[in-house]
Chains A and B, each alone.
Chain A
């Protein structure tokens, strides 16, 4: 069946901000879908609130709405665009939930919008656990009994308790209609059950949880299934979890293809999968189905299905070369699988099942170091913030690559460290699934544990355990060999040992190991991901390294540019950097280069095989990058390697790469060092006469106190060389400074601690600029809404700045230029300034693409990363202006009547983390970055833009109801005005006693609520938490009384903020945030909040610029 002709325009909904459980994979899927649908001639309308995505690039859709993914905004888009169809299966759970809401409210029917991909009915059947269970049980599959775990649906706590009685503990709690397993978990006893099910009931939009028999320790599998309108079904990929049932698949190490199934068992699973997708009625597109298998007798249970493209689909796409999202979009508009060509072979159709002649390992990346009090036990509730994937010709090789791709020194196997625990202790530690479990298994093997003992403790399949044991044996051989022979090196490399690991085992330097290895000619070959295990020739150069015999890299004539990506998502480094890398690839391909992407994050657009001319799915370590460079140098000329777009990951390789003879383009490694080294950078600032906050470099605890006394408290303290504010804190006195040094640093002269003056109450300013050695182009100036001291990644900001005058902008420009020249920047530069009184302090400069590049690019309709890539390869800003890539005569700070105000807001993962005793980790913002993603609100006025940003990140901004206020003394004066304004707008005001007194004096009518510590009053007065949990509070304004004290939860207000998370009530923790919010509420109450596509904003801005240019000419 060819493409449908009865529809011509399609609305695509994205997944919004990056949160745990929904990351870049939906940028990958949305981008593929938009591309495909436009190629097919459809008018594509896109709604996504996340500006850091490729999919929201204006050229990817006909109308791109960066608006909140909320029913009222979606209805406005639908009313304006009148699409024929809605494709909601590629934007994660967010898009699916939005589609369900639009269906249920009748909006889709009202505007005649057809749901394509999965019908409302299919979504319900797939997501509603009770319906799904019935469907599976009713399946008629020959030879395969389709079973589900025994379970009961509950809508209240008494029902939950009764169900657990019937099934017997432990039981699994699964709330309906939540993503990433929010609110789910294992309950071993009644108190755990009450806690987990209580959360689950409130997390579920329909107050519904499923209580299920436990399949803990069973083998876990996932199949990716694709179906077309003619009912052709193929299995794209099988995935096996190394971690058995009990750990969320997003937190598990997973392997493709399945390693420990016989054909009989696999086919049974395949038959059931096909029967499920048919019975649920996912007409077209992809879905994934999860299974558990009892290792003792093979009993197979269907766990769940997602009637949409998922994180696993992204993994499966990258693992097989079968582009699930693209094919899903094609089948959604009517094509059958046999009509769609397989891009990789070019001559065979997509109606086949990929086969793998390699092993893929995905490993999760955690961020527990950011939330020191959070419980690191892995459960059915996803906690990882990113993932890395690696490909090898065997499991051991792929695992070694995956673990080093995580860029966490703790994640790679330590073969040499001292073992202080006994085997028994190690077995006990590994019995609890946690982020370092595999390392503990390795340690246990080193300590003499047997695979049988480890199996008893972990239930990890014996095959995987033997493979891990094999790695330990190889490490022993490397350590004990009298000589590091070619055969020994080859054996080590074939089982995934890195040069670093071999060096440690042999007490050599890594450089020596690499030198010996190269001298012996032991280098990896590069094989191809071709979907068909070499049955047909591949046309797409999608490569991975392996220590095998034949390489498949083909020669080329065009000069190549290697772009180093940003690796796994983590807090502080995410999709924003992938965006810049993808843009560089596009711009350089257009400029005539052969682009070569190196990255290891399966969720991203950069690791799509058609984003760059060549793709190397490789870890971003010195060893692996040097091998890719070597392979490409054999293939043809290499113009250079780009390290400044992928965040710290490639940046920290810059010097070593250059030392190894690799040409780094753009800002030199020496210049990068100038910006990162405090002393050198201080000299640049001094030379240019630019003020910076006083600081000192402390080499001991005594030193730190002396410097703090010189500078005066408060001071900002942090270890040198950090990303995302790791380990940063603001301290106000000697005691907390000493505490910090002890707790958070290993202070030595080699690892000094920086002590900076903290600028209280300063306005923080972020700048992204381009410099070509001659011209400076200010891409954008952003004013933070929160005061300095909140990490810039966690702070909301506005572009253009709303309180800065033109003289300040001029000073920013002059200062930026001076720094760019002083450092020697070629390409992008990000600077953070703080304006205090009339002094513009320079806080820090980063000579690389920043997190805000995509936001600035979207807000100013100028693609900075593309321009930066061109500058790095020698183009001048004047050239790029002439080409139209940059504004002529002006830059990103131009004051234009037609330009929008854009507000960026950060999205926090606090609802994901709990302490071991079950309470929430605190939600305070500080100098350490904690957000996982961001949204953009864009409109004519600041108030509406801010309100949109809040709606996009936290649901809606309340326009009426009750506000609860509790502020620290120092904030009380500033809080009076906005709170009074809320009262004037009709809000009921609740407050704690102290705050209430101040407000009453200013004629605000206040009801007092009791603090949690006080408990309910004798007269029945409720506590704050009770009022929040009763659903009587629409907005919470609570600033912290004390000072951030690392992971210590002894802070007033913490229970309030925890209750806010639990009850999903917006909670504002800064005065500036409240003021902005009040403006937003006022704007919303005036009504008529509109929606407008980026393309319209851009056209108006370009027209105005043209007019201004003509006037000046």
Chain B
């Protein structure tokens, strides 16, 4: 990971804002690493946090030059070494590492056994959340809305999901090439067959796209950062979103696609480059059944403009429950 913001580590590290059980990046490139930490919640420095987990960091790099390099040439493999001082040899090592396209990394990041995040306040719904690399804030956002979240390993089967007796199913974000995630696509197909409401984020959006019959492709350098403008085509409102994706769904804009489960269409689009940022599936009556977004409505870090999507998920589940009762 390369940070474009030049000063990194100013507020140090705390134990409240972690989004995962460990740091997943292999290395961190910054320009100016803070020598002190200044924040009342901080209990250690960035350097200490990286060292404790054995993650290499490098500072004093012209990160803007590096960013421009990546913009013009696309995302690429990288190596940071404190041992190898010959650039040519280091380059050789880097070129020997596997490329991201075709990589299935889900198994590396998913949890080993199911975990339950209880609803806050009165429980209204149960959701099965497939962990393809889930961030901690996602179940929190659901729990705040009265959802009991069962976080399940990526290897879960439709039977595992059924066992939870969910009102809806969620597929999380995660690393790797969606084209290589056939198992997840198959699982989602079963979920849709069951008629369960579905909500997906990021990788989950790509899996949803594939399940609906769309392709995916690798972006040149991806969408990164917390300032990406997205339009919700339902409301024509613009939201500022947090994004971190290198792949995207290839679906037609402004055009309905018939699928086995209803009509699918693009629901959200990135205003910078018209990349698909969301998909939705409506039933024959035009009711929203399932949807997903390519970005991060759980927003940690990032703006909270898209929090309404969790409400939308609740509404879809509520409508289905009401429909069943009626």
| B279 → A minimal CB distance (Å) | 20
A301 to chain B, nearest CB (A): 16
Question: Are A259's CB and B227's CB within 8 A?
Answer: no
> B5 — which chain A residues lie within 8 A by C-beta?
257, 355-357, 533
Q: Are A259 and B17 in contact (CB under 8 A)?
A: no
Which listed segment binds B: A121-129, A227-235, A414-422? A227-235
The answer to whether the Cβ of A147 comes within 8 Å of any Cβ in the partner chain is no
The segment from B6-14, B126-134, B181-189 found at the interface with A is: B6-14
* Minimum Cβ distance to chain B for residue A468 (Å): 12
Indicate if B21 sits at the interface (CB-CB under 8 A): no
A548 with B62: CB separation less than 8 A: yes
Q: Do residues A298 and B228 form an inter-chain contact, with CB atoms below 8 A?
A: no
A548: which B residues are within 8 A, CB to CB? Answer: 62, 64-65
Residues of A within 8 A of B225 (CB): 355, 533, 535
Measured between beta carbons, the chain A residues less than 8 angstroms from B271 are 338, 348-349, 351-352
Q: How far is the CB of B77 from chain A (nearest CB, A)?
A: 20
Given known A260-B10, A262-B39, A393-B31, contact A352–B272 (CB-CB < 8 A)? yes
* A338/B238 contact (C-beta < 8 A), A263-B300, A348-B272, A352-B228 known: yes
Q: Which of B38, B228, B237 contacts A260 (CB 8 A)?
A: B38
Binding-face segment, A458-466, A711-719, A1099-1107: A458-466
Q: How far is the CB of A276 from chain B (nearest CB, A)?
A: 15
Partner of B272, one of A232, A261, A349, A354: A349
Of the listed stretches A264-272, A671-679, A994-1002, name the one at the interface; the rest are far from the partner chain: A264-272
Give, as a whole number of angstroms, the nearest-CB distance from A144 to chain B. 9
Q: Is A977 an interface residue (CB 8 A)?
A: no
Q: Which residues of A contact B14 (CB under 8 A)?
A: 262
The yes or no answer to B282 lying at the interface (CB within 8 A) is no
Query: A917 interface residue, CB < 8 Å from B?
Result: no
In the complex, which residues of chain B have a beta carbon less than 8 angstroms from the beta carbon of A234? 238, 240
Least distance between B205 CB and chain A CB atoms (Å): 21
Is B237 within 8 A of A230, CB to CB? yes
A395 at the interface (CB under 8 A from B): yes
Which A330-375 residues have C-beta < 8 A from chain B? 336-338, 347-349, 351-359
A351 & B65 in contact (Cβ 8 Å cutoff): no
Nearest A-chain residue to B62, judged by Cβ? A549
A534 to B36, CA, bound (A): 28
Q: Which residues of A have CB within 8 Å of B238?
A: 230, 232, 234, 336-338, 351
Q: Which residue of B lies closest to A355 (CB)?
A: B227
- Of residues 234 to 267 in B, which have CB atoms within 8 Å of A's CB atoms? 236-238, 240
Is A7 at the interface (CB under 8 A from chain B)? no
Contact of B36 among A142, A336, A462 (CB under 8 A): A462
Complex CA distance for A393 and B32, rounded to whole angstroms: 9
The reply to whether B63 and A260 form a contact with Cβ atoms under 8 Å apart is no
B227 cross-chain contacts in A, Cβ below 8 A = 352-355, 532
CB distance from B21 to the nearest CB of A (A): 19
- What secondary structure prevails in chain B residues at the interface with A? loop
> How many angstroms from the CA of A352 to the CA of B229 in the assembled complex?
5
Whether A260 pairs with B39 at a CB distance below 8 angstroms is yes
Report the separation of the CA atoms of residues A552 and B302 in the bound assembly, to the nearest whole angstrom: 29
Q: Is the CB of A463 within 8 A of B38?
A: yes
What is the 8 Å Cβ interface bit string for chain B, positions 22-43, against chain A (1 contact, 0 not)? 0000000001101110111100
Does B312 touch A at the CB level, under 8 Å?
Answer: no
In-complex Cβ contact of B4 among A355, A463, A536, A537 (8 A): A355
The winner among B68, B231, B236 for most chain A CB atoms within 10 A is B68
Q: Which of B71, B225, B229, B237 has the most CB of A within 10 A?
A: B229
Beta-carbon contact of B38 and A461 below 8 Å: yes
Residues of chain A contacted by B34 (CB below 8 angstroms): 463, 466
Is the Cβ of A260 less than 8 Å from the Cβ of B11? yes
Q: Is B149 an interface residue (CB 8 A)?
A: no
Instruction: Please measure, in the bound complex, the distance between the C-alpha atom of A625 and the C-alpha atom of B160, giving whole angstroms.
Output: 69
B156 at the interface (CB under 8 A from A): no
B321 to chain A minimum Cβ distance, whole angstroms, is 24
Residues of A close to B6: CB separation below 8 A: 357-359, 393-394
On chain A, the residues within 8 Å of B36 by CB distance are 451, 462-463, 466
Q: Say how far A300's CB is from chain B's closest CB, in angstroms.
A: 12
Looking at B64, B224, B307, the one whose CB has the most chain A CB atoms below 10 A away is B64
Chain A residue contacts of B301, Cβ below 8 A: 263, 267
Q: Is B275 an interface residue (CB 8 A)?
A: no
Q: How far is the CA of A263 from the CA of B65 in the complex (A)?
A: 25
A461 to B37, CA, bound (A): 10
Interface residue B67 (Cβ < 8 Å from any Cβ of A): yes
Q: How far is the CA of A235 from the CA of B240 in the complex (A)?
A: 9
Residues of A within 8 A of B31 (CB): 393-394
Answer yes or no: A296 CB below 8 A from chain B CBs.
yes
B-contacting residues, A257-314, CB 8 Å: 257, 259-264, 267, 270-271, 295-298
15 contacts between A and B (CB under 8 A): A234-B238, A257-B5, A263-B300, A267-B303, A270-B304, A338-B229, A348-B271, A351-B271, A352-B272, A358-B64, A393-B6, A394-B6, A395-B32, A533-B67, A537-B71
Apart from A267-B304, A463-B38, what 11 extra A-B contacts exist at CB < 8 Å? A234-B240, A235-B240, A260-B39, A262-B39, A263-B302, A352-B227, A393-B64, A394-B31, A466-B36, A534-B64, A548-B64
